[in-house]
């Protein structure tokens, strides 16, 4: 084992965590609710909950808790419980908690003097306490102890810095005389016969020696007296400080050995002991192992090493050789499996998320070889877990038949716990789908019950189903697409290409309205996120963009979304596009999608008869302009299929981008308006609006047609000679021309050039 950290970094790392209540610092970032990433294998199904912080996490902090920030509160609850039990029924827990956690050192000192008969009254905050009425010997002993413990808080609470180590630690400014405190603590320790109190004085002295005396003082006092006390929580808090003292003396082997005792004996200190544990070299590690009194202690050390160095497979080999039935194998196996899952995950652009995949792989990892060997031996404490793990690894590498055999063996020994049952059911479903290349009626009947379960079932806490469900839907969608069963394909995973064909849309409408669906059809129909209304609205937009207004109106009639009010007047035509301006402006008439099309249809009928042809053509042209992405009425086309809130044409799916940015219809009606124009003012306006359409169309065909241009530079092409601008120059005598020069910097630059 080579040395991983430099001495300076190592000591900085460990010093903050050696003490029993030290803070554990790790890298920040990430979503803690999804810290396991792409995974189908829940460690909670296999491993004791006391190991939960050490489950594999995609981030550099402890699973489920992130930072360990309990440095000053870790033992508050147990401390109150212990003292309440010691003091008896006459001591309300609320009073004990207040005295331990909230009361000041001065108020405790006053209470101590009151009980000793040196003062006549208690501090005001304590006068109503039942604990002090007819105080027992235990109460007097408690307050006497607490007055000393409060003094120790001066050096023991929040005694950490992120950048100090044992070689360069700056002394903290203290307000208590630690030498005097130690003398009193020692006197009380020697005099008391009460084992409960004696252990607490022992703890206080070891802790004080750790902070304020040479490290050997803490070590000697611990070693001399440790056999006198039970192996309870306070014992492990005390040994944690002793381990830190050994570290100060650079006796890393003994320090790590003691940390392993803390890790194994006290769940509350597991993270502290783990983070403080750090063998530096192979010789150092061997010396630590040599200190072990039995194989179980060696197993604990190997488990800690496997977790700390992320070398789970090596640690499992060693533990298995020492005791195949050790429960400490379980944590290492789940961590190794969860890490292995990363190799079989990747990014899914369409879903915008990570996904897992099954990859044919003949190169077997050390983990695969080991887990398969152990599973076949069948001599662990939880053989079903090893069968399941071996099957999962086979499944990930495409050997679904071998995986199925392992899952059968797991099922025979599976416990009745709901999470374990759900875990195996999930893996078997994935394996069935992966191992069945064709989704025919036989397959559908086989998997329907499990598909309904994984989609809509009730699941135990910590069950990991999201990755599997995404994979199932994507896999079946691709399979049905390859089989030309497009309705099923789009129901399992929606994809925009489906809507490029109106025949597909009509087929989907028919399917959604089908009355006598089979059970399997009912299942995948529920997966489909859209409704018949969404499809009709999409068809209406397509028809409207092609100027088939009468057909579009028929599609929209009866659709609730067609009654949504558009945020701006779609008949406005501006020199400069300003959506917000139009949205903020007062509207005498508010248009909905449906009423807009009806009004446009009415105007088009008038154009055909020559009734106010110019004004009607201009208004219809403005409406066609505004219902594209460039206009103020984007809300007209926004919906479940086409999307919404597009910040630029690049944010529109390329399949729909052409339709939603096309200037064809606006150009058509501005041209009709120009033909019907009677005055120079009217003609000037037509030419300017045609120039805007020409400009937008140039962007569509030259820039927005390639997504790689999204962050490109258009400099050097700012003064292209739009035909509309050329034609507009002949109307320089008009008021509109002057307004255009004033408002449109592009046109002004063009004329000056």
Burial of 674: CB neighbours in 10 Å, binned 0-12, 13-18, 19+: buried
Residue 619's pLDDT is what?
97
What pLDDT is recorded for position 728?
72
The whole-number pLDDT of residue 2 equals 42
- CB–CB of 351/323 below 8 Å? no
The predicted pLDDT at position 362 comes to 61
Residue 358 has a pLDDT of: 87
Residues forming a β-bridge with 89: none
Query: What are the pLDDT digits (tens) for 663-699?
Result: 999 999 999 999 999 999 999 899 888 988 988 998 8
Residue with more model confidence, 506 or 740: 506
Domain for residue 725, yes or no? yes
- For position 31, what pLDDT does the model report? 36
Q: Report pLDDT digits (tens) over 202-212.
A: 999 999 999 99
What integer pLDDT is reported at residue 360 of this predicted model? Answer: 79
User: Strands 345-348, 353-356: parallel, antiparallel or unpaired by DSSP?
Assistant: antiparallel
Q: Which of 3-12, 434-443, 513-522, 598-607 has the lowest mean pLDDT?
A: 3-12
State pLDDT tens for residues 459-469. Answer: 999 999 999 99
- Count other C-beta atoms under 10 Å from residue 86's C-beta: 17
Residue 447 is predicted with a pLDDT of: 98
Q: Which of 161-165, 473-477, 536-540, 738-742 has the lowest mean pLDDT?
A: 161-165
Tell me the torsion sign for CA atoms 245, 251, 257, 259: positive
> What pLDDT, on the 0 to 100 scale, is given for residue 353?
55
CA distance 545 to 539: 10
Question: What's the CA gap between 73 and 479, in Å, rounded?
Answer: 55
d(Cα 47, Cα 306) in Å, to the nearest integer?
15
Q: What is the pLDDT of residue 22?
A: 29
Report whether pLDDT(348) > 60: no
The pLDDT score that the predictor gives to residue 720 is 62
Is residue 649 assigned to a domain?
yes
Q: What local confidence, expressed as pLDDT, does residue 710 receive?
A: 73
Q: Looking at per-residue confidence, does 712 or 668 come out higher? A: 668
Q: What is the pLDDT of residues 161-208, one digit of tens each?
A: 322 234 444 455 667 788 999 999 999 999 999 999 999 999 999 999
* pLDDT tens figures, 230-256: 999 999 999 999 999 999 999 999 999
- pLDDT tens across 33-65, in order? 456 778 999 999 999 999 999 999 877 678 887
- What is the span of the domain harbouring residue 648? 533-752
Residue 733 confidence (pLDDT):
83
User: Is the per-residue pLDDT at 18 higher than 50?
Assistant: no
Q: Establish if 111 belongs to a structural domain.
A: no
pLDDT beyond 90 at 159? no
Higher pLDDT, 714 or 373: 373
618: in domain: yes
CA 280, CA 509: separation in Å to the nearest integer?
A: 67
User: Which has the closest alpha carbon to 683: 691, 694, 673?
Assistant: 673
Q: In this model, does residue 160 exceed pLDDT 70?
A: no
pLDDT in tens, 581-596: 888 888 889 999 999 9
180 in any annotated domain: no
Q: And the tokens for 369?
A: 């070889």
Please state, in angstroms and rounded to a whole number, the distance separating the CA atoms of residues 217 and 21: 20
Three-class DSSP labels, 667-731: HHHHHHHHHHCCCHHHHHHHHHHHHHHHHHHHHHHHCCCCHHHCCCCCCCCCCCCCHHHHHHHHH
Q: Are 625 and 637 in contact (CB under 8 A)?
A: no
Q: Which two tokens stand for residue 403?
A: 């995986």
Q: Quick check: is 248 in a domain?
A: no
Give yes or no for residue 229 having a pLDDT over 60. Answer: yes
Interval 217-236 mean pLDDT: 97
Q: What is the pLDDT of residue 12?
A: 26
In a domain, 550, yes or no: yes
112 touches 122 (CB < 8 A): no
Average pLDDT (344-349) is 67
Q: What is the pLDDT of residue 26?
A: 31
Q: Measure the CA–CA gap between 724 and 35, rounded to whole angstroms.
A: 57
Q: What rounded mean pLDDT belongs to the chain?
A: 87
Tokens of 703: 């820039």
- To 10 degrees, what angle do helices 418-434 and 383-396 make? 30
* Overall average pLDDT of the 656-667 stretch: 96
Q: Estimate to the nearest angstrom the gap between the alpha carbon of 726 and the chain centroid.
A: 56
User: Does 11 have pLDDT greater than 50?
Assistant: no
The model's confidence at residue 749, banded by pLDDT at 50, 70 and 90, is low
Domains of the chain: total: 1
H or E segment and range at residue 347 = strand 345-348
Give the per-residue pLDDT at 354: 59
Residue 32 has pLDDT above 50, yes or no: no
């Amino acid at each position: 084992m080579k040395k991983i950290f430099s001495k300076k970094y190592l000591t900085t790392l460990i010093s903050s965590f050696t003490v029993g209540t030290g803070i554990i610092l790790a890298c920040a970032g990430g979503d803690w609710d999804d810290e396991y990433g792409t995974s189908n294998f829940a460690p909670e199904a296999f491993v004791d909950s006391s190991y939960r912080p050490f489950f594999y996490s995609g981030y550099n902090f402890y699973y489920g808790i992130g930072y360990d920030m309990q440095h000053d509160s870790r033992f508050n609850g147990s401390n109150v419980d212990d003292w309440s039990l010691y003091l008896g029924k006459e001591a309300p827990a609320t009073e004990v908690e207040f005295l331990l956690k909230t009361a000041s050192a001065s108020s405790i000192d006053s209470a101590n003097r009151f009980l000793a008969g040196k003062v006549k009254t208690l501090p005001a905050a304590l006068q109503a306490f039942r604990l002090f009425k007819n105080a027992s010997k235990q109460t007097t002993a408690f307050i006497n102890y607490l007055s000393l413990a409060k003094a120790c808080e001066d050096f023991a609470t929040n005694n950490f810095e992120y950048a100090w180590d044992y070689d360069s630690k700056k002394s903290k400014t203290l307000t208590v005389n630690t030498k005097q405190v130690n003398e009193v603590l020692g006197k009380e320790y020697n005099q008391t016969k009460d084992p409960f109190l004696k252990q607490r004085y022992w703890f206080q002295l070891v802790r004080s020696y750790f902070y304020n005396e040479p490290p050997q003082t803490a070590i000697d006092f611990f070693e001399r007296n440790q056999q006198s006390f039970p192996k309870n929580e306070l014992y492990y808090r005390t040994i944690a400080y002793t381990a830190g003292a050994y570290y100060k003396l650079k006796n890393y082997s003994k320090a790590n050995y003691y940390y392993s005792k803390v890790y194994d004996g006290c769940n509350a200190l597991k993270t502290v002991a783990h983070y403080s544990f750090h063998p530096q070299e192979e010789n150092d590690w061997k010396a630590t192992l040599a200190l072990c009194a039995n194989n179980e202690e060696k197993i604990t050390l190997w488990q800690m090493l496997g977790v700390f160095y992320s070398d789970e497979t090596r640690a499992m080999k060693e533990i298995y050789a020492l005791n195949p039935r050790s429960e400490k194998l379980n944590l290492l196996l789940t961590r190794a499996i969860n890490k292995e899952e990363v190799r079989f995950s990747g990014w899914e652009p369409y879903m915008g998320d990570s996904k897992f995949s099954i990859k044919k792989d003949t190169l077997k990892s050390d983990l695969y070889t080991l887990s398969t060997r152990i599973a076949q031996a069948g001599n662990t404490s939880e053989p079903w877990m090893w069968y399941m793990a071996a099957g999962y690894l086979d499944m990930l590498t495409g050997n679904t038949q071998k995986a199925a055999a392992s899952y059968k063996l797991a099922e025979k020994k599976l416990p009745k716990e709901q999470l374990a049952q759900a875990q195996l059911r999930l893996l078997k479903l994935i394996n069935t789908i992966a191992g069945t290349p064709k989704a025919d009626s036989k397959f559908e009947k086989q998997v329907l019950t499990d598909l309904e379960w994984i989609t809509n079932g009730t699941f135990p806490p910590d069950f990991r189903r999201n990755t599997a469900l995404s994979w199932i839907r994507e896999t079946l969608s691709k399979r049905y697409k390859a089989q030309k069963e497009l309705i099923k394909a789009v129901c399992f995973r929606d994809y925009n290409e489906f809507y490029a064909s109106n025949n597909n849309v009509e087929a989907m409408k028919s399917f959604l309205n089908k009355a006598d669906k089979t059970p399997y059809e009912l299942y995948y129909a529920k997966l489909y996120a859209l409704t018949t209304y969404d499809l009709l609205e999409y068809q209406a937009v397509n028809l409207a963009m092609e100027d088939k207004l009468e057909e579009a109106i028929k599609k929209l009639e009866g659709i609730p979304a067609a009654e949504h009010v558009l945020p701006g007047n779609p008949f406005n035509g501006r020199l400069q596009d300003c959506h917000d301006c139009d949205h903020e402006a007062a509207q005498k008439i508010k248009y909905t999608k449906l009423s807009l099309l009806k009004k446009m249809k009415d105007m088009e009928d008038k154009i055909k008869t020559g009734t106010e042809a110019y004004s009607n053509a201009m208004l219809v042209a403005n409406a066609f302009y505004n219902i594209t992405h460039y206009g103020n009425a984007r809300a007209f086309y926004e919906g479940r299929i086409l999307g919404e809130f597009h910040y630029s044409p690049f944010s529109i799916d390329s399949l729909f981008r052409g339709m939603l940015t096309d200037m064809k219809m606006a150009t058509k009606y501005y041209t009709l308006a120009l033909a019907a124009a009677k005055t120079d003012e009217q003609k000037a306006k037509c030419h300017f609006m045609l120039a805007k359409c020409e400009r937008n169309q140039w962007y569509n065909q030259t820039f927005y047609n390639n997504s790689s241009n999204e962050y490109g530079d258009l400099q050097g092409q700012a003064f292209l000679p739009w035909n509309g601008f050329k034609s507009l120059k002949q109307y320089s005598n008009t008021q509109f021309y002057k307004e255009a020069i004033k408002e449109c910097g592009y046109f002004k630059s063009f004329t000056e050039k």
